[in-house]
Structure 1
Amino acid sequence: MAIKMGRPGVDGLGDVVRVLGEWQYDGGPVQLHPGDVGWFWRFGAEPTAEATRTWSRAGEVLAVGLLDGAELLRLAFAPPALRDEELARQVAEDVSAPERGVLIEGKVYVEAPMGALIQDVLFKDGWESGEPWTPLRRDLGAPVPDPGVRVEVIGPEQAHEWAAVLRASFDGSTFTDERWHAMAAGAPYVDARCLVVRNEQGEAVAAVTVWSAGEGKPGLIEPMGVHRAHRGHGYGRAITVAAARALQELGSSSVDVCTPSSNVGAVATYQSAGLEQLPERRDLYRNAS
């Protein structure tokens, strides 16, 4: 049977989230996670559906892609299909042809799990290796210590505080209360939590969202930020530990996060919270034609 690319539509996003959760497992490659779709959902259900692609054979979804902007496609594969030659060639063909409606013309990027055949196929087609990213993971089979700070789970009434901390954590961030509510209305948020750390004065100084992929599956941190006015006090480590505890309570087997290798401060913060560095991964890119 031929491989067919499709768009799930808003009604099909729940199924996409479900299969992405099924594909997550400890010891497997870090790849597109239900939480990545959940974080994108801050733009709304329809934009999320518009950004989502699936590749199927005989009605079975074997790969999922999320367009994180017009220049980057993030991919996940069903574990038995990571080395499926027909699938890899079809995905490569679709992402390399702008008329297929996946990636635009010019310089574009593909993020694919390490060990997936799609990487080999794209390399042979002239794609190149991009900047390195560092994945980190902490096993949640053992108790996670108390973070030693005041941690709160954020609900709709405190969304404005969470949004304000996030804006103050990332240069150029335009995150709004409305985007928090859109994210929280998405299917993946059923298994997610937003947390803040408060200082002794009661101010929200760090924020994180954690996403479960289901009982016994790796969970995800996306995003995590510390207010620029409150850095250097260990709040990044504290909220990462709090994130690990929250995922453990949700039944996750481990916690994953991925950050640019150039962001040495973030890597050090995650390591201080007990996450172990995994082998670097790199996006693939195609130069502008």
Structure 2
Amino acid sequence: MVSEPGVEGLGRAVGALRQWQDDAAPFQLHPGDLGWFWRFGAEATAAAVRTWSRGGELVAVGLLDGPTLLRLGIAPGLQRDPELARQLITDLGAVLPPGPASVEAPTGALVDERLAEEGWSSDEVWTPLRLELTEPVEEPGVRIEVVGPEQAEVRAAVHRAAFDRSTFTDGSWHAMAGGPAYAEARCLVAHDDGDAVAAVTVWSAGPGRPGLLEPMGVHRDRRGRGHGRAICLAAAAALRDLGSSSATVCTPSANVGGIATYESAGFRRLPERRDRRRDAPGRQPDAAP
């Protein structure tokens, strides 16, 4: 049955997600996703996380990335497990509100197929990309600064200049950096002619496992000058230094410019993935047979 881990259980959820990352497995919820959400604080993150256990071990972790979107990470060996798929679908009524809602599950997971059978339609299309880190990464060509507490305000300002309606502040950075996922993370800022022009946060899942870029942005007044490519190269190099096997990112397929930026830095596209969406007002999915 679904549980709310509380602040004290968040470290365990982060640890499970780290163990589940594998270049040979489908792209799924990453510890960095919880780490980035931590900018809202530990209490808010705990309120957004749900876990499922079997025999005392975590088998699935969910993140409510907004009130109507549940993003799932599932233990690789159980992604086709009928009992777990049935339990996850049964518990959606307790996790998501009535009416329109979406679920992001690993590609190929049985729960995704069962949701389709229950009438959930295909939703937004996403493009995962990956850069293998077996070889050294090309130099970015601009000055890269690793962000610490003293540079938090600069990093936050670049983020707000890259993303419309962002509320990210230096306080958000300090909250994020205080979470357990940030123990294996780095924030980087690219500088050009003395100005901060791009920023990224990278999240390692441990040596030999894929790392994540979340988020990456370029100052709106400095786009079209190669700064996106430069910060992506710096991000990949930082993950390689942390022992990651690859650098990964997932962006909406409609973000054509973003995809082109990642590809210019050597990332290659993986097969597209789709969320599942329930449109019928008030409809709750039944348990799968």
TM-score bracket for the superposition, by shorter chain length = over 0.9
Find runs of 4+ consecutive structure 1 residues off by over 4 angstroms.
none
Aligned partner letter, 1:245: A
Structure 1: runs of 5 or more not aligned? none
Structure 1: distance between partners of 2:261 and 2:182: 25
What is the CA-CA distance between 1:59 and the residue it aligns to? 1.2
SS, match of residue 199 in structure 2: strand
Aligned partner letter, 1:179: S
What is the CA-CA distance between 1:77 and the residue it aligns to? 0.5
What is residue 281 of structure 1 aligned with on the other side?
273
Deviating more after overlay: 261-270 vs 4-13: 4-13
Q: How does 1:152-231 map to 2 (within 5 A)?
A: 152-200=145-193, 202-231=194-223
What is the CA-CA distance between 1:60 and the residue it aligns to? 1.4
Tell me whether 1:105 sits opposite 2:110 in the alignment. no
Structure 2: distance between partners of 1:157 and 1:104: 41
What is the CA-CA distance between 1:80 and the residue it aligns to? 0.6
SS, match of residue 162 in structure 2: coil
What is residue 19 of structure 1 aligned with on the other side?
16
Tell me whether 1:132 sits opposite 2:125 in the alignment. yes
What is residue 265 of structure 1 aligned with on the other side?
257
What is the CA-CA distance between 1:288 and the residue it aligns to? 3.8
Of 148, 151, 170, which residue of structure 1 is paired with 2:144? Answer: 151
Post-superposition Cα deviations, 1:4-44, rounded to whole Å, max 9, x if no partner, equal 21111111111111110000011211100000000000000
What is residue 46 of structure 1 aligned with on the other side?
43
Aligned partner letter, 1:44: G
What is residue 31 of structure 1 aligned with on the other side?
28
Structure 2: runs of 5 or more not aligned? 282-289
Post-superposition Cα deviations, 1:132-175, rounded to whole Å, max 9, x if no partner, equal 10000000011111111100000011100000000010111111
What is the CA-CA distance between 1:222 and the residue it aligns to? 0.1
TM-score in terms of structure 1 length: 0.96
Count of aligned residue pairs for this structure pair: 281
- RMSD across aligned C-alpha pairs, in angstroms? 0.7
Contact 1:221 1:257 in 2 (8 A): yes
Of 241, 247, 263, which residue of structure 1 is paired with 2:239? Answer: 247
Aligned partner letter, 1:82: Q
What is the CA-CA distance between 1:67 and the residue it aligns to? 0.3
Structure 2: distance between partners of 1:251 and 1:207: 21
SS, match of residue 221 in structure 2: helix
Structure 2: distance between partners of 1:168 and 1:104: 33
TM-score in terms of structure 2 length: 0.96
Contact 1:105 1:288 in 2 (8 A): no
Q: Percent identity?
A: 63
Tell me whether 1:141 sits opposite 2:165 in the alignment. no
Of 59, 83, 88, which residue of structure 2 is paired with 1:86? Answer: 83
